[in-house]
Structure 1
């Protein structure tokens, strides 16, 4: 088991870690997407972020996690959110969640005085596991642990089981996300599968929501954009994106979107220009090679030795030998 989280393996990890480390945003996630009565009773002041990762070394390159403890009177509930930000579904998710939950319980057991944990009143805290998934394809892994057990139907009532919450970014509709009008829903809308040229259009649809965010909420939003959008940009444009986002306040959203649009258009023009220049260079190189091959063929027909032709044209001797075989056929 790891201590404090190591460097994230994916830009989204850092973005979502920072985002959900704010308990207001975490509570927003639950209250926006979990339709259960117990969610409404949660108070932000009772949430405590656990600054520790329970992802095991075996899976440390696959995912990151966020853990919260909810203190209610003398009891506590633990929320365990696994960030499954891969392009494909991992069907071992229920098993991996179980391993992480056991690690949490093991730590609590080991940190409880022996006389307390051996008391008949000792109870482990309930853990509510959840998965945040942003893959393009549908989530097809089992949603309960028992489904991973062979012949589980034959032993109903005797097997360990749990259901986890699933936050599937690409399955929420655009209308639902815009209607939610908060930070986490806005980020889910931007994180849905899209081409780079669609970014500005989605920001424009979110403009009304973004203008109503508090400065702190808006900073969460722009930080997420930096962590996820910037790595896709060339160095010069990455710095420009930084400048645009750092200089923007919620009431200046339209100006931010306009400046981002101009920057992205400039980046596309430069990419197109580079592509055209590369095509021309490749065409010239191809023309030069065709010219060398033609000269080599003429020299072969005159009976010139392969080594001398290689010296004259710069072609490799084996290339010239292959040309000679073609001419002799």
Structure 2
């Protein structure tokens, strides 16, 4: 699957997950160790149905915006979903554009009289970046660090700092011990083999039983988005069917059936790998021994594993290409 399409599916998947208020709040409570987190209630969060992504970056990122009232003060949470394979060092500048865009819209929708009042204030904007690239995030976190000469002017220049969720840097044991929806998503999202994916899914099965029914439905949809790029068309249909039919009370059965499907894929992959290796070895043998590989196109059509092994053995034992062709004829492969 093309890399940009995989990134798009991740954007859509994460946007769906964190557009669920309880799950967004779980993200804050699990990974942001700030006193203000305890002041937020899920019922006070309002999801803003608008994106502030600029056209220049529309193919690279997605965003989620929440509004909340904390102690009578309006606050905006702006979450940028960053799923490029490399770190973008322009991040502080990009975030500045989004802050300004948010405030500009608020001013546009505020009456002229209200804007001119001494006590009028713009809402605080808390910036967050969710990043799942394998490369360590090395872009500046503070805006002042991208300004030339910032060290000369101290507090006299504009500055802000964004919160970073660097998924690949979270310790697996830490994620396992958290045992919630968000930690499970982060644990399963890392680029790992099919075998490891199933190990982690089995390990987190008990989490799937205890999350809310709404979170369970969201997680099933997200699981489709991360599993499908790893599967062939036939397996995609099977996995989708398993996930769609499974209820939260059937988690063990769901995980077991997914495991069987993945195990079958792995076995088929190994068989195909062995077959390819055998055919390559046979072609090399015929070329070196007889300088004649003209029968390979017919041999490649052999589907039975035992027959293919027997043909390889025939090639080893034959003293001439004529003798080998005669053996193929006896096997009705000529």
Which residue among 140, 154, 159 is the counterpart of 2:138?
140
Aligned to 1:215: 213
Unaligned ranges ≥5, structure 2: 295-334
Distance 1:235 1:8 in 2: 16
Identify the range of structure 1 (84-93 vs 12-21) with the bigger mean alpha-carbon deviation. Answer: 84-93
Secondary structure at the aligned position of 1:87 is classed as coil
1:63 and 1:85 in contact (8 A); partners too:
yes
- 1:12 and 1:129 mapped to 2: Cα distance? 20
Give the CA deviation at 1:67: 0.6
Select between 247-256 and 185-194 the one with higher mean Cα deviation: 247-256
Q: Tell me which residue corresponds to 2:160.
A: 162
TM-superposed deviation, 1:247: 2.0
Task: Name whichever of 197-206 and 245-254 sits farther off.
Answer: 245-254
- The residue matched to 2:204 in structure 1 has which SS? helix
Quote the offset at 1:216 in angstroms: 1.4
Mapped to 1, the partners of 2:191 and 2:151 lie a distance apart of 37
**Residue 8 to residue 271, structure 1, CA distance change in 2 (3 Å):** closer
Q: 1:101 aligns to what?
A: 99
Given the superposition, is the C-alpha separation of residues 8 and 56 from structure 1 closer, same or farther in structure 2, using an over 3 Å criterion?
Answer: farther
Measure the CA separation in 2 of the matches of 1:166 and 1:99.
Answer: 18
Aligned to 2:53: 55
Match of 1:17 in 2: 15
1:249 counterpart residue number: 247
1:34 aligns with 2:32: yes
Shift of 1:188: 0.7
Shift of 1:241: 0.6
- CA gap 1:63/1:268 in 2 versus in 1, 3 angstroms: same
Q: Secondary structure at the match of 2:46?
A: strand
The structural deviation recorded for 1:237 is: 0.4
- 1:170-201 per-residue CA deviation (whole Å, 9 max, x = no partner) reads 22222222222211111011112322220111
Is 1:234 matched up with 2:235? no
Residue in 1 that maps onto 2:116? 118
Shift of residue 18 of structure 1?
Answer: 0.5
1:132 aligned counterpart, secondary structure = strand
Match of 1:267 in 2: 265
Q: Is the 8 A contact 1:214 1:250 kept in 2?
A: no
Choose the corresponding residue for 1:176, options 174, 191, 202.
174
Once the two structures are superposed, the pairs formed by residues 72-111 of structure 1 within 5 Å of their partners are 72=70, 75-111=73-109
Compute the TM-score of the two structures, normalised by the length of structure 2.
0.80
Structure 1 distance, partners of 2:46, 2:11, is: 20
Residue 190 of structure 1, aligned match among 188, 191, 199: 188
Task: Report the TM-score when normalising by structure 1.
Answer: 0.81
Tell me, in whole angstroms, the C-alpha distance in 1 between the residues paired with 2:293 and 2:189.
51
Aligned-residue CA RMSD (Å): 2.2
Against the structure 1 CA distance between its residues 8 and 137, is the aligned structure 2 distance closer, same or farther, given a 3 Å change threshold?
A: closer
Give the aligned partner of residue 291 of structure 1. Answer: 292
Distance 1:11 1:66 in 2: 15
Listed one character per residue, the Cα deviations across residues 150-186 of structure 1 (whole Å, up to 9, x for unaligned) are 1211110111100111111122222222222211111
Q: Please state if 1:200 is matched with 2:201.
A: no
Per the alignment, in what secondary structure is the counterpart of residue 136 of structure 1? coil
1:8/1:14 contact within 8 Å kept: no
SS in structure 2 at match of 1:115: helix
Distance 1:16 1:233, change over 3 A: same
1:44-87 Cα distance to aligned partner (Å, 9 max, x none): 11111111111101111111111111134653100000011122
Residue 292 to residue 238, structure 1, CA distance change in 2 (3 Å): closer
* Cα distance, 1:214 vs structure 2: 2.3
